[in-house]
Amino acid sequence: MAASDAYLTELNHLLTHRRIYLEDKRIPVLKEQFRIYHGAYTGILNVLLKKGLVAEDPYKGDQRISDVAVPDDSTFLESERDEQLSIRLAAFDNQLDFLNNYVQFSLDYLDLKRLKILAGLAAYIKWPQLTETSTHMLTRSVAQCLTKLRAGGDQLSLGIVTDNHNQLVKSTNTIIQILREVGEYQREFYKFEIREHVLPHVELDATLARRHHERVFLALKKGIGARLPGRPYVGELIAQLLDEDYGDSAEDARQAVLQRLRVEEEKPKLKRQDNANLRILFEALRTMAGGGRYIETAVQKLRDNYAVLTARPRSFGERLKEWIDRVVRQAEPSTALTVEYVDEQTSAVRHEQIEFEPFCEDALKRAKLLGGIQSRMGTTYKKLQQAPEQQVFQFANRQIDELFLIRRRLEALDTYLRSEIPREHRGRLRTLQEDVEALHDYLVRANKKRHSYVAKLEEVEQLRRLGVESNG
């Protein structure tokens, strides 16, 4: 028999709660994990490019993307490996960049078709099975490049690649898990819509429906086209619906659906008693460390934009000035960029000279340090746990202040490059705005925790002066 009103009511209720859960809890994580994924992928790609293990695709900047898609994943000849690696890794980078900067993650956007595409992107390179014996040609080719890198003995580059590879494995697993959860919702919502809008207007013979007769599928296909225009016909899901509404084990099938859709309440975790003030301080450190990946992606985009600036045709005046500096003054042309920024305390416009590449290197070192703080198993985090509280506070103070400075300089350099690059070349620029805003958000939250820590210390000190001992 067809689904009862009671079942549809409960199904609708659970779908609503599942939607809220996915939109509030899971989709933000999905978006964040794709951003982390891209940052880690960029880290590996930059090392391979720098070491000459992969060539730069000269047409990378010419690609125009209107919607996210999985790049070419077909097999290629071994003789084409270098060329195909260059093309495909660049295309993959462009797709991830488009996904993270132009796609609004939401349940409405993440339909069944796009979920399949995102799953394909996450598995475009099989990071969890990255071996030279992989049957997947692109994965095998990347693994071969990394083997050559290891043979080169550059421990710094190898460390960067290892850390980023580990992150890609974790992010891939998390992304696939969330995509499955969203897919589960979308499939059940699809069937719910058919029950609501199509089945009441289609006469079905229960016996034919139980047997999955071709006439039943045809009737439902026509009904979907008439009542749900734009919705695809998915035969697999129609078959599931028929089993749940007309099958011999319909009741068991429906209960299984309801059980899968239920959102389990999160139980509060018991926390061990420890120094409350120090705990606030470490919360500030971990919050601050969350901004590290945004520094990495922002620096890479900044370097790409700087490359657009340096590759532009230079005016006669610029070339003459360089010649005078080199020949007459016997000096190397200055690489310092004079940027403007607004002093937040005085609102005055100030100028600062920044040596571009040293700034980028320093920012990346800072990002790597933050990665060590974010990992509770990392050496940096363990050292901080063993350090005296005052040293931890001084470290947090210095890092937060330095990161605010880096954020300000990233923004100022981005503004400078956009103003200096001719209008006809600005279409090639990558936007830093979301990365800088995300970094700023992490720093503001870390700063609030720092102020909270200071306030707690002052409170304890006042109590001490009054002769009251604190148990914090």
What's residue 318's pLDDT? 56
Q: For residue range 183-213, what is the model confidence (pLDDT) as tens digits?
A: 999 999 999 999 989 998 988 888 998 899 9
Q: For residue range 342-354, what is the model confidence (pLDDT) as tens digits?
A: 877 777 888 889 9
* Ordered DSSP codes for 53-85: SS---TTGGG---SS--PPP-----GGGHHHHH
Q: Is residue 130 pLDDT above 50, yes or no?
A: yes
What's residue 455's pLDDT? 85
Judged by DSSP in three states, 337 sits in: strand
What's residue 140's pLDDT? 94
- The Cβ of residue 455 has, within 10 Å, a number of other Cβ atoms equal to 12
Q: For residue range 246-295, what is the model confidence (pLDDT) as tens digits?
A: 888 888 998 999 998 888 765 544 343 347 778 888 888 888 888 888 89
- Show the DSSP H helices in 228-378 as ranges: 235-246, 250-261, 276-289, 292-311, 316-323, 356-374
pTM: 0.58
Phi and psi torsions of 204, nearest 5°: -120, 135
Where exactly are the structural domains of the chain? Answer: 5-193, 276-465
What's residue 273's pLDDT? 36
pLDDT band at 327 (very low <50, low <70, confident <90, very high): low
What's residue 19's pLDDT? 92
Q: Is residue 470 pLDDT above 70, yes or no?
A: no
Average pLDDT over residues 157-181: 93
Q: What percent of the chain has pLDDT over 70?
A: 90
Provide CB contacts within 8 A for 96, sequence distance 6+. Answer: 34, 37, 38, 41, 121
Q: Is residue 332 pLDDT above 80, yes or no?
A: no
Q: For residue range 442-463, what is the model confidence (pLDDT) as tens digits?
A: 899 999 988 888 888 787 777 7
With CA atoms as reference, report the closest residue to 35 among 145, 170, 159, 171: 171
Judged by DSSP in three states, 129 sits in: helix
Specify the higher pLDDT residue, 237 or 429.
237
